[in-house]
Homo-oligomer: A and B are copies of this chain.
């Protein structure tokens, strides 16, 4: 069965918009270094994978994925593509604005790229809500799995290319994961700072690492922050299922509004 808007003819799209009661998902990822063991597209695979799985269980329009995101701090390793925050805001607004013309008025932006993309999504979301009168929800796996991850203290904290997203990719795209190439770079507690949404202590807010500092880090740890050696496909499967359940719930909430 067709799930993605781009697979459908305009007549099929018209039907699907009606059945989905005006709810659409826009999956947004990033193409950025994820260590030597994960593909550059990891964040996009996450957003796309969750969207597609939710569409198996709920009626929802799947907008075409946005492969690229804002990731200036990962530009130090080859293949990374960073789009300016302003470009991303406009791109998402243009997509929402077009889809709104066709009767879609509730949008879930899935952020496969964690804390970094949320920033411009919030600005885009506010504009869309107040300019177009639509409803915007930002669904971020790291924020949406706080309960689940807290129950698995052997996993985490959230870093980059660490055990949580490695496990998730092992479940979704085993052929694209080369765990044997990973090195561990355990996250050291740093006073007054963490990017993990479960971090419960006083903290400064996130600003992407400047490129100069990121360079040093990349040389040391090949782009990894965390302990991918702890990854396992079973955790990845349950993490995925948790997120899909949450996503379906958000879809239903929007449809019942």
Write the residues of chain A forming the contact surface with B, with a CB cutoff of 8 angstroms: 4-11, 13-14, 17, 31, 33-41, 44-45, 63-68, 72, 75, 77-87, 90-91, 94-95, 98-99, 101-103, 111, 118-123, 125-126, 129-130, 133, 135-140, 143-148, 150, 176, 178, 181, 192, 198, 200-208, 210-212, 223, 246, 249-250, 253
A64–B67 touching, CB < 8 Å: yes
Given contacts A84-B90, A137-B204, 7 further A-B contacts (CB under 8 A): A6-B44, A9-B36, A68-B95, A120-B123, A129-B207, A140-B204, A140-B205
| A211 to B162 CA separation, bound complex (whole angstroms) | 39
Interface centre among A82, A84, A122, A138 (most CB of B within 10 A): A122
Interface centre among A5, A41, A63, A212 (most CB of B within 10 A): A5
- When C-beta atoms are compared, the residue in chain B nearest to A149 turns out to be B202
B9–A204 touching, CB < 8 Å: no
- When C-beta atoms are compared, the residue in chain B nearest to A80 turns out to be B98
Question: Closest CB-CB distance, A14 to chain B, in whole Å?
Answer: 4
Q: Pick the 5 closest A-B CB pairs, nearest first.
A: A6-B41, A13-B79, A64-B67, A138-B205, A125-B207
| A246 to B14 CA separation, bound complex (whole angstroms) | 37
| A138 to B139 CA separation, bound complex (whole angstroms) | 24
Q: Which B residues lie within 8 Å of A126 (CB)?
A: 72, 85, 207-208
Question: Closest CB-CB distance, A143 to chain B, in whole Å?
Answer: 5
What are 8 contact pairs spanning A and B, CB under 8 A? A31-B64, A82-B94, A84-B90, A120-B123, A123-B123, A126-B207, A133-B212, A192-B253
| A82 to B250 CA separation, bound complex (whole angstroms) | 27
- When C-beta atoms are compared, the residue in chain B nearest to A45 turns out to be B6
| A64 to B28 CA separation, bound complex (whole angstroms) | 13
A81–B68 touching, CB < 8 Å: no
B39–A6 touching, CB < 8 Å: yes
| A39 to B3 CA separation, bound complex (whole angstroms) | 12
> Which one of B81, B99, B130, B211 contacts A63 once the chains associate, using CB atoms below 8 Å?
B81
B64–A80 touching, CB < 8 Å: no
Q: Which B residues lie within 8 Å of A35 (CB)?
A: 9-10
